[in-house]
Structure 1
Amino acid sequence: MGYAFTAEDVRFLQSPDGAAALLEVDGCALNASTRLADIGRARRRFGSNAAVLAETVMLRRKAAAKLPGTEGWFFTDDALQQSTPGAVAAHRAQRLRGRNVHDVTCSIGAELNAAARTAATVIGSDIDPVRLLMARHNVPAATVLRADALVPCTRDTVVLADPARRSGGRRTYDPAALEPPLPDLLDAYAGRELAVKCAPGLDFDRLGWDGEIEVVSLDGGVREACLWSPGLSGAGVTRRASVLASNGSVWTVTDAEADEIPERPPGRWIVDPDGAVVRAGLVRHYAARHGLWQLDPRIAYLTGDSVPEGARGFRILDRVKYSEKSLRQELTRRDCGVVEILVRGVDVDPAALRPRLKLRGSRSLSVVITRIGRAGVAFICESPPV
């Protein structure tokens, strides 16, 4: 759960004495082997403030990769865990460029900070007084006020929201179990321009959303979905996949694009589309753009004679009807000792299968296990370069 910050803690951290103490504690390693001793020394120097100082230093270190440029920020552990990665927040902020934006769940200010760089004006609000103090410190360019997210307090703004899972609860995929509940949030701002961050695993069909659902990945991992109201969506777009990388590259595919693809036998390569493309239901649209087709109409693996730039491609060496025995024999024949196993459409656990194959060779290969029609198939492939 992390340290329970109070308003008094934040005011101390903002004071000259607090800033000097943070600088001194930041000189400590605070790693697993030294933490107790480091905190003990901090307690002798700073008394009851030692815990908040140590927690703030450790949270800033955790935030360095996720939220670059926030070296002097204040965080809580929950707020940092639930905050949007900087690259994803910056991507969303680009779509809000020139708008007046009200972040109604601003927390410690991660989304607010990104929006402040592109929006005409930015306002942040939250119901938690401690996080609001942190947001005022972290994003001085924004107007920050205390308000319930379900009680509108601005007009003519794009409402930005990030409903969280309930404090202390496990991750939920029920829109009504978020905080604030997503259906209540949508009702409160009916008719307003909205951008609402959600978990990508939510059941969006239950919402009856008539705008755009964007699924975003960063460096190969699916991070979130965002609901965009119709006025903020692209023309004719109801689904979008946005693929981001930490080096700044971005590409997107939408359901406004063509999705006609041929039905053919497997080509030279198997292509594993980015998870955002799969979650957004845009596999056929992505395939059509790149001249690919599906191994099976119900499976998200694609195939073709070339690999799109940036995609994972596996060059097919052979295919066998799937069984553990036939797969083991073929991999042994090919002197395989290390195997990467990818699975879709069949009930196979790669972690359980790998040791049962008892491979002893010197070669590294990949295996794609899937279904074509009703038959389980294993494709023996050359591993993609690292």
Structure 2
Amino acid sequence: MGVNLDACFDEFNETVNKTVDSIRRGYGRNTVLKGIKKTCFDRNMVFEVAKCRIKARKKFGELADKLFFDEEGLRYSTPPMVAEYRAKRLRCKSVADVSCGVGVQLLFFSKHAEHTLGVEKNPFRLELARLNAFALGCDNVSLMQRDALDERLAKELDADCVFSDPARPAGEKVRKLETLQPNPVEVYRLYQVKTGRIAFELPPQISRENIVIDGEKEYTSLNFRLNRLALYTGELATCDVSAVSLPSEERVTNEDEPMSLLESDKVRDYFYEVDVTIIKSGLLSNLLGKIGFDGSLVQTGKRRTLLSSNGLYESAFLRTYVVRETLVFDVPTINKALKRLNARKVTLRFEIDSKDYWGFRKKVEEGLNGEKHFYLFKVGGKAVIAEPSDIQK
């Protein structure tokens, strides 16, 4: 495509912003398309970029107003906080992102490297990466339309670190290394002769057994949710498995001394929900050993793992609650206790069918006119009423 950005950028960005305004006003696609003036890009492309800019607000905040995405580029783009952390961890003189997409991670690399190179096979996505680099004034970024698996590219490449965030097949139920594009195994084979620093972004739900490349598997939590899985190979690796919580950057590894934990349904003074990132990484015992946890495991399940203790422990991987009452799991009894505790509303934190959630919640909240917000857990046949501790507020 190779558009002249100096001549095209302002006009294209203005057209995208006007299209965003038309979409937000509720005009239909055909009406919006008719109103898009001719630019260096096709009208349908302008419409897609505008629609994605609206959606991008959720992930990128105000930064979205400066960026350009297509649907796939937005879906798999790295959130800014994760991109910044990754760029700092891979900080070196030169970085090559050999599957850069629309270039979000590449732009963050450029903040911490003297030079960054982006390689993208898709011509439209490459132009979006050019626009993004231009929009943010990144003058140490080079871009080229090439296939990451081109052996000539691998031979020509001169970079201290190679990074690849391969595309995932849409609708794939079980993530596999061999279905990612470009294939990480092939990327590793081609580029390991050039550098000992190769890193990948992988689907976080992929099984550990399917990762056949040696390296550190780092599970990333963003705001208490599993968000990313990075694989650091060679000299980039610091351990076998790790977990990092953002924004705090608290980190746990398999090398932290583990601590065994007794299972008990006894509810003590404090309750903790464990970040699923820790469960997925298999590092619960290491986390507990690192913080010196003295308590018990009261519940495990698909959606949540609960701990309890008499002492208060602080970790970004733990959501901490103060237990206010433990009582029989019975609606009238729970409702009476909530009134006594000056409750205004209650959030249910136990397994319940989605169709039954609001009906049950309405029953336990009936007649509440207090000021406090509580959380209701279920442990065995007991109801646990708790509220977030001060360290969570």
TM bracket, shorter-chain basis = 0.7 to 0.9
Alignment of 1:225-374 (within 5 A): 225-234=229-238, 237-245=239-247, 249-261=248-260, 263=262, 266-292=267-293, 293-296=295-298, 300-304=305-309, 305-308=311-314, 311-319=318-326, 326-335=329-338, 338-343=345-350, 348-354=351-357, 355-356=359-360, 358-359=363-364, 360-362=366-368, 364-370=373-379
Show structure 1 runs of 5+ residues with no match.
1-6, 371-375
Q: Deviations over 1:262-306 (max 9, x none)?
A: 647543111112232222222222223333233259663222221
Pick aligned residue for 1:162 from 162, 165, 169: 165
CA positional deviation for 1:109: 0.8
**Scaled by the length of structure 2, what TM-score is found?**
0.77
Q: CA separation of 1:328/1:282 partners in 2, compared to 1, >3 Å: closer, same or farther?
A: same
Over the aligned positions, Cα root-mean-square deviation in angstroms equals 3.3
In 1: Cα distance, 2:8 partner to 2:114 partner: 36
Structure 1 residue 79, shift from structure 2 partner: 0.6
Paired letter, 1:239: V
Normalization by structure 1: what TM-score? 0.79
Give the secondary-structure state (helix, strand or coil) at the position aligned to 2:78: coil
Match of 1:63 in 2: 56
Distance across 2 between alignment mates of 1:361 and 1:151: 68
Aligned mates of 1:17, 1:262 — CA distance in 2: 62
Corresponding position of 1:11: 3
Q: Which amino acid in the other structure matches residue 378 of structure 2? A: I
CA contact (8 A) 1:97 1:119 kept: yes
* Residue identity in the other structure for 1:53: V
1:367 maps to a residue whose letter is L
| CA spacing shift, 1:268–1:217, aligned 2, 3 Å | same
Whether contact under 8 Å (1:96, 1:119) holds in the other structure is no
Change (3 A) 1:43 1:252: same
Show the counterpart of 1:30: 22
CA–CA distance in 2 between the matches of 1:93 and 1:180?
Answer: 21
- 1:329: Cα distance to partner? 4.6
Cα deviation, residue 40, structure 1: 3.4
List per-residue Cα deviations over 1:284-337 (Å, max 9, x = no partner). 22223333233259663222221416542222244467xxxx443531342468
* Structure-2 separation of matches of 1:76 and 1:242: 29
SS at match of 1:295: strand
Shift, 1:366, TM fit: 2.1
Q: 1:145 to 1:24 in 2, by over 3 A?
A: closer
Q: Judging changes above 3 Å, is the alpha-carbon distance between structure 1 residues 32 and 123 closer, same or farther for their aligned structure 2 residues?
A: closer
CA contact (8 A) 1:335 1:361 kept: no
Structure 1 contact 222–275 (Cα < 8 Å) conserved: yes
The one-letter amino acid of 2:314's match is P
Q: For the Cα contact (< 8 Å) 1:97–1:120, is it kept in 2?
A: no
Per the TM alignment, residue 201 of structure 1 is displaced from its structure 2 partner at its CA by 0.8
Overall identity of the aligned pairs, in %:
20
Distance 2:45 2:110 in 1: 28
What are the ranges of 5 or more consecutive residues in structure 2 without an aligned counterpart? 134-138
Q: Letter of the 1:254 partner, please give it.
A: T
**1:28-48, Cα deviation, whole Å (9 max, x unpaired):** 6234543339x7377356269
Structure 1 equivalent of residue 136 of structure 2: none
The equivalent residue for 1:203 is 207
| Residues matched between the structures, number | 357
